[in-house]
Structure 1
C-alpha cells in the first residue's frame, strides 16, 4: 500500500452530488434569465401621462432659509437572487474544495502515520528477532558451559573412582602382604616351636643321659657342681678345667643381669654345661641338669647364651669347659 502511494500521486476524492449541483445551477440560470427578461420589458414600456403644476416663487433674501438636510445614505441594493445563488454555489464549491483538501491532508497524515506505525512495527520485529537470537545464543552458550561442567564432573568422578580403586588395590596388596607376613611369622613361629621342641627333647635326652651317668658313678664327684649362689639367683662351678676361687663371682656378675624370669622360684635349679674358647667366646651351652620346669630351663639357658663372651680367669684365659648352676632369685 505504501509502494502504491509512492508510485502514484495523491488525488482528491471524487465529489459527491455533482449532478445535483449541475441541475441546481441550470435551474438558477433559467430563473435568472426569466427575471432579466421581465425587467427589461418593464423598463421599455411607455409611461402613462401625468399632470403637474409648476409654482414659481420669488426668493426672499430677507428671510433666511434653513440648510438643506444631509443626504440620507442609500442602502446598497440587495443582491439579486441569481447572484446569491452563484455566491452560494461558489461558497459551496469552495467548502467542498476545502473539505477535499482537508480530507487529502487527513489521508496523507493517516498514510504517514500508518507508514510510521509499519516502520515501528518492522523495527520492533527486528529488535524482537535480535533479542530472540541473543537469547538463543545465550541459551546455547549456557548449555555448552553446563556440558563442559558435566564433562569435568564426570572426569573428576572417574579420576576419584580410579584413585579409590588404586587405593583399594594398594590396601589389598598391603593386607595381602601383612597376611603373608603373618603367615610367614606363624610358619617361622611354628618352625621355631618345632625346633625348640626338638631342642628341648634333645636337652631332656641329654639330661636323662647325664643323670644316668651320674647314677653310674659320676654323681657326688667333687668337681661335678660348683658352689651355689641361691641368694643372687646364679651359681657357677668348674668341671674338667681348674678355675680360680674368684672365677665363680665373675661368671655370676656376667650372667645375673641376663636372667629374665617372673614365675615361681622355689625348688628350681638348672645346671648348664658350657664350652668356651680361650678368648671367652661361647662355643656351646647345653642343659646338663634340668630343674623339671622347662620354662625356667629355657630362661637359664638364654641367660647363659646372652652372656657371650664369658669372662677370663686370672691367667688371662677362659676355661674351655665348666658347668654353671643357676637358681631363680628367691
Structure 2
C-alpha cells in the first residue's frame, strides 16, 4: 500500500534498468561517431593513378627481324572526384545518420514514455487495488462490528427477557405463597371464628339452661312460700327492674352508648339485627347474656354477643339501680 505524504509531491516510481539503458545509449553514440569519422576520412582520400601495359603475343615465324617495342601508351588518369559532390554525399549521409539517430532517440523516448506511462498506470492500478482492499477491509470490520453489536444486543435482550421471566415467576410464586398464606390465615380465622361461635353458642346455651333452672327454682320457691300471689313472672319480665318497676325512657340510650363502641364487625351490614337478652345485678354486673332473636348471620350474632359481654358492667337507671333483665337490639353501623 502506497502512502501519500502531504509534505512531498507525488513522484513516479523509479524505473529499473535506467543506468543500463543509459550506458547502452552512450556506447551506441561512441560507435556511431567512430563510424562517421572513418567514413568521412575514407571519402576524403584521393585515389592514386594506375598504369597498365598491354602485351600482344606474336608467333616467331611472323617476325622476320626484331622489332623495337612500341612506346608505352599513356594511361589516362581517372577523373578526380569533385570535392563538392563528396561533401554533399557526406553531408547527406551524415544527415541520414543523424536522422536515424534522432529517430532512434525519439523511439527510445517514446518507449521510455510508454514504459513510464505503463508504470504509472500499474502504480495507479495498485493504488486503486490497495484502496479497494482497504475499503473492503473497512467494510468487513464495520460489518463485523455491527454483527458483534447485534449479537451483544440480542444477548442483552435475551438476558433481560430471562431476568424478567425469572422475576415474573418469582412474583407469581410469591403471590401464590401470599395467597396460600392468606387462604391459610383465612381458614385459620374461619376455624377460630367457627370455634368461637361454637364456644359462644355452647356458653349461651349453658347460660340459658342455667337461667332456666334458676328461674324454675325461683318459681318453685315462690309458689311454695305462704302468702305468695301470682306466678312470679313480674320480676323476671323484660324491660323491668327488680321489684317489677319499669326502666326509664333514657335507659335504652345509656345501654346503646355503652355497648356500641365494643361492636367489632367488618362484614356485610344490610338486614342484620340481633336481639340480646341480658340479666344484671342491681349494681350493673352482667350475670348472663344470650341471643334472644338471631339475625340469620351467626357471625354477626356472635359479634353482638361479644360486644354485650365486653360492656360489663351495664349502666344504672335513674333510680341508681340496673334493671334485673332487659333486651338490647343491635345493628351493625352502616
> In the alignment, what sits opposite 2:162?
161
Change in Cα spacing, 1:122 to 1:134, as seen in structure 2 (3 Å) is: same
> In the alignment, what sits opposite 1:221?
233
Cα distance in 1 for residues equivalent to 2:277 and 2:298: 9
Quick check: 1:237 aligned with 2:237? Answer: no
Q: Is the 8 A contact 1:274 1:286 kept in 2?
A: yes
Cα distance in 2 for residues equivalent to 1:286 and 1:92: 161
Q: Is the 8 A contact 1:261 1:328 kept in 2?
A: no
Once the two structures are TM-superposed, the CA of residue 169 in structure 1 deviates from its matched residue by 0.9
> In the alignment, what sits opposite 2:271?
262
Once the two structures are TM-superposed, the CA of residue 164 in structure 1 deviates from its matched residue by 3.4
Cα distance in 1 for residues equivalent to 2:78 and 2:211: 202
> In the alignment, what sits opposite 2:16?
3
DSSP-derived class of the 1:3 partner: coil
Q: Is the 8 A contact 2:278 2:286 kept in 1?
A: no
Cα distance in 2 for residues equivalent to 1:255 and 1:126: 108
Once the two structures are TM-superposed, the CA of residue 193 in structure 1 deviates from its matched residue by 1.2
Aligned Cα RMSD in Å? 5.0
Once the two structures are TM-superposed, the CA of residue 172 in structure 1 deviates from its matched residue by 1.6
TM-score (norm 2): 0.56
1:159-193 deviations in Å (ceiling 9; x for gaps) = 44224313431332132112211221112112211
Change in Cα spacing, 1:163 to 1:323, as seen in structure 2 (3 Å) is: same
Cα distance in 2 for residues equivalent to 1:191 and 1:118: 106
Q: Is the 8 A contact 1:290 1:297 kept in 2?
A: no
TM-score (norm 1): 0.57
Quick check: 1:324 aligned with 2:333? Answer: no
Determine which of 310, 313, 317 is the counterpart of 2:317: 313
Larger Rg: 1
Cα distance in 1 for residues equivalent to 2:150 and 2:119: 46
> In the alignment, what sits opposite 2:223?
none
Once the two structures are TM-superposed, the CA of residue 272 in structure 1 deviates from its matched residue by 1.4
Alignment of 1:66-81 (within 5 A): none
Q: Is the 8 A contact 1:273 1:324 kept in 2?
A: yes
DSSP-derived class of the 2:326 partner: strand
> In the alignment, what sits opposite 1:74?
none
> In the alignment, what sits opposite 2:203?
202
> In the alignment, what sits opposite 1:115?
116
1:44-64 deviations in Å (ceiling 9; x for gaps) = xxxxxxxxxxxxxxxxxxxxx
> In the alignment, what sits opposite 2:226?
none
1:207-235 deviations in Å (ceiling 9; x for gaps) = 34544554566375211013xxxxxxxxx
For structure 1, list consecutive stretches of 5 or more residues without a partner in the other structure.
43-79, 227-235
Q: Is the 8 A contact 1:237 1:325 kept in 2?
A: no
> In the alignment, what sits opposite 1:231?
none
> In the alignment, what sits opposite 2:289?
286
Once the two structures are TM-superposed, the CA of residue 105 in structure 1 deviates from its matched residue by 1.6
Q: Is the 8 A contact 1:275 1:285 kept in 2?
A: yes
DSSP-derived class of the 2:237 partner: coil
Q: Is the 8 A contact 2:277 2:326 kept in 1?
A: yes
For structure 2, list consecutive stretches of 5 or more residues without a partner in the other structure.
1-13, 51-73, 220-230, 264-268
Cα distance in 2 for residues equivalent to 1:224 and 1:208: 15
Aligned residues: 260
Change in Cα spacing, 1:326 to 1:2, as seen in structure 2 (3 Å) is: closer
1:267-323 deviations in Å (ceiling 9; x for gaps) = xx9561244795x6x756521x744x57378756744654636433336x663x732
